Chain A
Amino acid sequence: MAVDGIDFDVAPGESFGFLGPNGAGKTSTMRMIGCVSPVTSGTLRVFDLDTATDGSTIRSRIGVVPQADQLDSELTVVENLVIYGRYFDIPRAECKRRAAELLEFVQLTERANDRVDPLSGGMKRRLTIARSLMSEPDLLLLDEPTTGLDPQARHILWDRLYRLKQRGVTLVLTTHYMDEAEQLCDRLVVMDGGRIVAEGSPRGLIDEYATREVLELRLHRGALGETADAVAREDASALASIDGIGDRNEVLPDRILIYAHDGEAALSEVHRRGIEPVGSLVRRSSLEDVFLRLTGRTLID
């Protein structure tokens, strides 16, 4: 079972995220909302319609941006949009009008008559988003919209999605990127192992499950080939030496995180105790810290 007893609701105009590592059940949930996979037990209502009986009607009102692009590589950019619009029975002339408008929106007008194949990953993603908007959906489902894109392409995409949100389109997205969730989501649920482990706004979750700041310490580790026992002893002694600094700490394979309201103060205390880290970093806490707190694991291994 990919998803086990999850409970959530999304308000119109809201931007809602499913955050979790690979295999957490995000995609399965999206497929159920999109009325492609059946719900085996429980109820799922979209636009107040039952996904089990009103699949076609629901699908006619949502736009889907799948994890992997499903573009027709033989067709041109604009043909991809028109053909997709026809699936919704939008008249051909109207399809062309909307296609021109959407290509403008995703900044692909110059590529309108090019084949899809040679487009970059970021351009294909933008085209996929344009395609999902052909039916002027009330709800847009985005499954890991920026996975695999370079930072610049991601920022362009986030900007476009932010504009859609401002226009009142409801966004439901999955991601395993913390920064993406913080950028785009009004509210999100953290998923792990097919269950929801926390729910709230990005800020609210950070306030609830982490401190304001985090101090990251890299401590000296022995030579390569050190036995697991020796590493465990070092970790234990490192932990003992920082005991009492900050509210809480986490030991990761390559660093120790100290959760504290004031990271700089915590660092001063570390120095005062004569601990000499190889490297240190004070940063604001993020959803990554929330996830670590909730599951004891990092998001991307």
Chain B
Amino acid sequence: MSTPTTIRVWESEFAVYRKVWKSHVLLAFVQPLLYLLGMGLGVGALIDVDTDSTSSLGGISYFAFLAPALLATTAMISAGQASLWQVLDGFFWGNRYRAMAATPLTPGDIATGLTMWHATRTAIGVTGVAAVLALFDDTRSWGLLVAVPAAVLTGLAFALPISAWSSTRHSDGSFPTVIRFGLLPMFLFGGAFFPVDQLPGWLQPVAYITPLWHGIELCRGAVVDSVSPGNVAVHLVVLVAYVVVGWVACRIAFARRLAP
């Protein structure tokens, strides 16, 4: 029985990951933990004394509000890291995807294999965060098992469009901008630290079209049971749309880059 071509691409990504897994896991683990302690417990202690505040959080503690969102934000940050320099490296500096394209593997195999790899890598990071959440009473819930795949979907909604774009670049000059003016504002204003209805009216629609807000709502909903089935469907549709469009874009962009 032959190994599917996409799995062969996945294996290659995994082999490289094995060299750097410690720093990835540590970062995926430690960063959310710091936010949990500093913001969740520290700032949370100030917020939770005021019943007006807690009611605008849906009647839950600030810790319970923030913590599940970190599953989605970790997925986004982790996916962002893996979709910028690492992808351009495969087409431009190290050229590992060019090497693959000279074998029976096709650009489409590379795009799909990389998609599977992004999912795996995000799952590794997010599972670490879920393990931390399971330590705290407020967030110890079977819903974490549902939140992990929701966070993986969120990660893919970022990883695939960004990977497609990165594969068209000829330098990494614009990558820090993507992080500073793309991912970081979403992290701060996308509904993780406060509900997006606190945003100015004109800014709220912006939050609604980002994948992050939908991912956060799903993860939070899974852990503290705060989301209606109708909204779950909307969030899923939006995230899946980002993933599908991103995947198609990767297939097209990779083929163009590899076979000029």
| Partner-B contacts on A (CB < 8 A) | 34, 36-38, 55-57, 59-60, 64, 66, 68, 70-75, 79, 83-84, 86-89, 135
Contact = CB atoms under 8 A, between A and B. Distances in A.
Interface string B82-106: 0000000000001110111111111
A88 B104 contact: yes
Contact of A89 (B8, B96, B102, B259): B8
Interface of B: 2-3, 8, 11-12, 15-16, 19-20, 94-96, 98-106, 258-260
Contact of A36 (B2, B11, B96, B101): B101
Given A38-B259, A88-B103, A89-B3, A72 B8 contact: no
Nearest to B93: A73
A48 B82 CA distance: 41
A55 B101 CA distance: 10
Contact of B98 (A56, A57, A70, A83): A70
A34 B100 CA distance: 12
A89 B3 CA distance: 6
Contacts of A56: 104, 106
Given A37-B259, A83-B15, A86-B11, A70 B99 contact: yes
A4 B259 CA distance: 18
8 contacts: A59-B104, A70-B94, A70-B95, A72-B12, A72-B16, A89-B2, A89-B3, A89-B104
A18 to B, nearest CB: 17
Chain A binding surface SS class: loop
A112 to B, nearest CB: 16
Chain B binding surface SS class: helix
B260 to A, nearest CB: 7
B12 A70 contact: no
B102 A64 contact: yes
A84 to B, nearest CB: 7
A79 B102 CA distance: 18
A55 B105 CA distance: 10
A59 B103 contact: yes
A36 B105 contact: no
B94 to A, nearest CB: 6
* Most chain B C-beta atoms within 10 Å of own C-beta, residue among A57, A71, A74, A75: A74
Contacts of A83: 11-12, 15
B11 to A, nearest CB: 6
B8 A86 contact: yes
B99 A84 contact: yes
B260 A37 contact: yes
Nearest to A115: B19
A58 B249 CA distance: 27
B94 A72 contact: yes
Contacts of A71: 94, 99
B211 to A, nearest CB: 29
